[in-house]
């Protein structure tokens, strides 16, 4: 085998670090889905290992215990939430807020989701919970900043930014309670529709007019 072919082979096979990341991604997706469906206390590491097709001891290469797994799922979900934010300066505050909510909904119900039911926070240790809340507060603050930007450019009506964000996220998070992958609506359809319904009441005069014209086409 030539040196050139060997080099191609090395590039085709993920290295040890890449393999670990792929396995962690799969672990977080499967675990978060199990926690959402069955609750923290109704889910065991044996269940998660069986779903992944591995033995329970294999999971201890990646997490310390079930509580640590729940915590890691929360951290990954926080990163996914931050990545969902739309901060394109070319868009109005209203459009950025609506897109952020739609992106967030896709993040929490999509195939790559690591989102965990918020009520499961009580199963975390105090130190873990404090860190999760810190991560979530960062997401909230950046969403509020988008609402405030909408106030300044006139695309969002006068309102309490904190209340607007809490209301929008409340509706978005509730989607995880009723969404079914086998349902009639796709992830994208749900995300766009819920975002439009939730954010519609925030639209300033210019945005409301544009939305009305678009709907009439």
DSSP secondary structure string for all residues of the chain: --HHHHHHHHHHS--HHHHHHHHHHHHHHHHHHHHHHH-STT--HHHHHHHHTS-HHHHTTT-SSHHHHHHHHHHHHHHHHHHH----TTS-HHHHHHHHHHHHHHHHHSTT-----GGGGGGS-HHHHHHHHHHHHHHHHHHHHHHHHHHHHTSB-S--HHHHHHHHHHHHHHHHHH--TTSSS-HHHHHHHHHHHHHGGGB-HHHHHHHHHHHH-
Whether residue 129 lies inside any domain: the answer is yes
With 50 as the cut, is the pLDDT of residue 11 above it? yes
With 70 as the cut, is the pLDDT of residue 46 above it? yes
Whether residue 49 lies inside any domain: the answer is no
pLDDT tens digit string along 155-175?
Answer: 999 999 999 999 999 999 999
Whether residue 203 lies inside any domain: the answer is yes
Domain region containing 202:
66-216
- Other beta carbons less than 10 A from residue 184's beta carbon: 6
Domain total of the chain = 1
Report pLDDT for 213. 41
CB-based contacts of 64: which residues, under 8 Å, 6+ apart?
Answer: none
Question: For the residues 131-148, what does the mean pLDDT come to?
Answer: 95
Query: For the domain that residue 204 is a member of, what is the CATH number?
Result: 1.10.357.10
Cα distance between residue 78 and residue 39, in whole Å: 19
Least-confidence region, from 50-59, 187-196, 201-210? 201-210
Burial of 49 from C-beta contacts in 10 A (0-12 / 13-18 / 19+):
middle
Whether residue 38 lies inside any domain: the answer is no
Q: What is the pTM of this model?
A: 0.82
pLDDT tens digit string along 68-122?
Answer: 999 999 999 999 999 999 999 999 999 999 999 999 999 999 888 888 876 677 8
Is the model more confident about 18 or about 41?
41
With 70 as the cut, is the pLDDT of residue 54 above it? yes
Whether residue 53 lies inside any domain: the answer is no
Beta bridge partners of 203: 156
Whether residue 130 lies inside any domain: the answer is yes
With 90 as the cut, is the pLDDT of residue 64 above it? yes
Whether residue 20 lies inside any domain: the answer is no
With 50 as the cut, is the pLDDT of residue 33 above it? yes
Average pLDDT value over all residues in the chain? 87
Cα distance between residue 81 and residue 14, in whole Å: 27
With 70 as the cut, is the pLDDT of residue 4 above it? no
Cα distance between residue 145 and residue 33, in whole Å: 31
Whether residue 93 lies inside any domain: the answer is yes
């Amino acid at each position: 085998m030539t040196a050139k072919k060997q080099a191609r082979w090395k590039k085709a096979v993920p290295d040890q670090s890449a393999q670990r990341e792929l396995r962690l991604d799969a672990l977080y997706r499967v675990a978060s889905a199990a926690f959402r469906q069955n609750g923290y206390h109704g889910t065991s590491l044996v269940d998660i290992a069986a779903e992944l097709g591995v033995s329970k001891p294999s999971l201890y290469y990646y997490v310390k215990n079930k509580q640590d797994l729940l915590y890691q799922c929360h951290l990954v979900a926080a990163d996914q939430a931050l990545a969902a934010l739309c901060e394109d300066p070319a868009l109005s505050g209203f459009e950025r807020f609506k897109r952020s909510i739609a992106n967030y909904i896709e993040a929490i119900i999509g195939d790559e989701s690591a989102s965990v039911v918020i009520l499961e926070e009580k199963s975390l240790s105090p130190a873990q919970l404090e860190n999760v809340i810190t991560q979530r507060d960062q997401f909230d603050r950046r969403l509020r900043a988008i609402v405030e930007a909408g106030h300044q450019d006139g695309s969002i009506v006068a309102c309490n930014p904190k209340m607007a964000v809490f209301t929008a996220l409340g509706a978005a998070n509730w989607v995880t309670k009723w969404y079914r992958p086998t349902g009639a609506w796709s992830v994208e359809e749900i995300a766009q529709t819920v975002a439009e319904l939730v954010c519609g009441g925030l639209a300033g005069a210019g945005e409301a007019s544009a939305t009305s014209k678009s709907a009439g086409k």
